[in-house]
Structure 1
C-alpha cells in the first residue's frame, strides 16, 4: 500500500476535481479541497467524506499560498467557463503553478485537455496549453493528464436533446470521437498521485472509448429502451452560439483526439475502465429523461 499523502485538490466541487477528491479519500489519502463556497452542497459533501476545506480562490494569491502549505501534492484544474474566459483561465493555472513552486511541492498533477499540445487554435485548448508550458518550465515536479470529451457531456450540455430523442452533434454521423467518464479521470488522477515516480514529467491524453454519434445514439436507445437518433447540427449554427465550440468540432472532424486506449489500460490497471455502454447502464435515466 502506498503511504498516505496530503493532497490539495482545486476545482474540488466540480466534476473532475470532485472525482479526484473522492478517489483519493477512498484510497486513504488526506484531501484539502480548495473552494470558494464552503457552504455549497459539493463542499459539505466532501467535508462529510473526510476532506478538509481550504477557502479561497485563484485570484486571492494569499489563500492559494495557505492552501498549498504542508501538502505533498496538488491536483490543479482551471476552467474558462467560470473564470471569465480563456485569459482568466490561463492566469488561474499560472498562479497555481507559482504557488506550488513557492510551497516546494513535490508533485503537481495538472489536468489539461486532449490534443492541447497540437496547436489546435481552439481557444479553450490553447489557454490550457499555455499553463502546460509554464508548468513544464517551472521546475516543479509534474504530471499532465489530458482528458478528451466527457461521457457526461451527453447528459449535461446535450441533455435537452436526449429528452427529445436526439443525440445532436456538429459532426458527421459516423465520425468517431474519443470519450472518457469523469469517474475514470478521478481514478487516473489518484493513481498518478499514488505512483508519482512512474509518471513524473509525463503528459498523456486520457480516453476510455471511441464512438461515433450514431453509435452513441444506438447505445442510448438500447440502454433506455427508447428510440434515440443521431442528428448532425450545421457547424454554422454552432458558430452563431460559440466560435470556440465551432472550432473544437471542426477539429474533431478534421483531426480528433488520439489517446492510446490500449496503453492506458496497460499502464493504469487499477482504474475501473468501462465500455461506453457499461457507463451508460449505470446512469439515472429517469432523471436524465425527466
Structure 2
C-alpha cells in the first residue's frame, strides 16, 4: 500500500486525534493542522485565513476536514477549506448522521451546506456522517425517553472508516456514509457504565441549548435513518466497537 500524506484538521480533538493516530500507525505521513504548531508534524492553518489553508493542504494526498464551529461561521469556514483543497486528490469531510435530510437541527444544517459545496466544487470527496460519540464518564443524562435507542459511534471507528477511504479512494469516491457502531437506550448505556440514566425534560434542554434540544427532539420524534447491520456488513474491515467493548478498551487505557 502506498504511503500517503494527509492533512488532518481538528487533530487536537477526539475525532481528529483518532484519525491522526490511526493514519500514523498505518504508515502514512500526517500533518496535524493547528493555529499554533508546537510538535513535529504540526502545520499552521487557520480557518479564517484561506492562504494558510492553501499552505497546509499543499502537496497533500488527502485532507480530513472537520469544521470547528456551528452557526453561519461554520459554513463560511467549511466552504473556505473546501475551496483551498480543490487541488487535493481526496477530501474526507466529517459531518453528522442524516445531516443531508433537512433535519432543521442548526449544527446539522450548517454541515449540510458544506457538504453541498464540497459535492459541487470538488471532483473526489467522501462525506462521513458520525452518530453521537460514545462516552465513558459520569451518569447518562439525556433529553430522550428511556425506551428510545440511540445511535452511537466510537471515534476509533470513524478513524478506521476515514483511513479506509483514503486508502481505497475508488471505493469511497463521491459517497456519503452515515456511521454508527452500536444502537442502545439510555438505561442500557447507564447499566454498562455502572451508573444511572436520567431523562432531562426537553424544556430544560432548551434553556441549555436550543441547538442540542432540536437534535434530541429530532432523534425522539423522527429518528435517524441508519441501518447498522448493513453498514457493518459493507465494511467488515472495520472493527465496529460495541458500546460494551469500547468501554472495556477505555478502562484498559486508564489502568
- Residue equivalent to 1:235: 202
Distance 1:116 1:143 in 2: 14
* Range 189-198 or range 266-275, more displaced: 266-275
The separation in 1 between residues aligned to 2:184 and 2:142, in whole angstroms, is 13
Which residue of 1 is the match for residue 183 of structure 2?
210
Counterpart of 1:115?
98
The residue aligned with 1:264 is: 231
Equivalent of 1:89, from 68, 74, 92?
A: 74
Tell me the alpha carbon deviations over residues 148-203 of structure 1, each in whole angstroms, 9 at most, x when there is no partner: 00003xx4xxx4xx2xxx32110101101000011111111111111110010100
Instruction: Compute the TM-score of the two structures, normalised by the length of structure 1.
Output: 0.84
Aligned equivalent of 1:16: 15
What is aligned with 1:149?
132
Shift of 1:271: 1.6
- Which of the numbers 110, 114, 137 marks the counterpart of 1:131? 114
Structure 1 segment 1-290 matched on structure 2, within 5 A: 2-39=1-38, 44=39, 47=40, 52-80=41-69, 85-101=70-86, 104-152=87-135, 155=136, 159=137, 162=138, 166-221=139-194, 228-284=195-251
Name the count of aligned residue pairs: 254
How many angstroms does 1:286 deviate by? 11
Pairwise CA distance, 1:70: 0.6
- Counterpart CA distance in 2 for 1:280 and 1:11 is 23
Return the offset for 1:139.
Answer: 3.3
Residues 233-268 of structure 1 show CA distances to partners (whole Å, capped at 9, x for unaligned) of 000001011110110110010122222222322232
| Residues in 2 aligned to 1:66 and 1:282: alpha-carbon distance in whole angstroms | 37
SS in 2 for 1:283: helix
Summarize deviations over 1:40-69 as a string: whole Å, max 9, x none. Answer: xxxx3xx3xxxx211121111111011111
The separation in 2 between residues aligned to 1:167 and 1:92, in whole angstroms, is 33
> After the TM superposition, which segments of 4 or more aligned residues of structure 1 sit over 6 Å from their partners?
none
CA contact (8 A) 1:34 1:55 kept: yes
3-state DSSP of counterpart to 1:249? helix
Distance in 2 (CA, whole Å) between partners of 1:137 and 1:220 is 43
Task: Give deviations 1:64-121, integer Å, cap 9, x for gaps.
Answer: 01111111111101132xxxx41111111101110011xx111110010001011111
What is the CA-CA distance between 1:270 and the residue it aligns to? Answer: 2.2
Q: What are the ranges of 5 or more consecutive residues in structure 2 without an aligned counterpart?
A: none
SS at match of 1:38: coil
Change (3 A) 1:286 1:195: closer
Runs of 5+ consecutive residues of structure 1 not aligned to the other structure: 222-227
Q: Which has the higher helix share?
A: 1
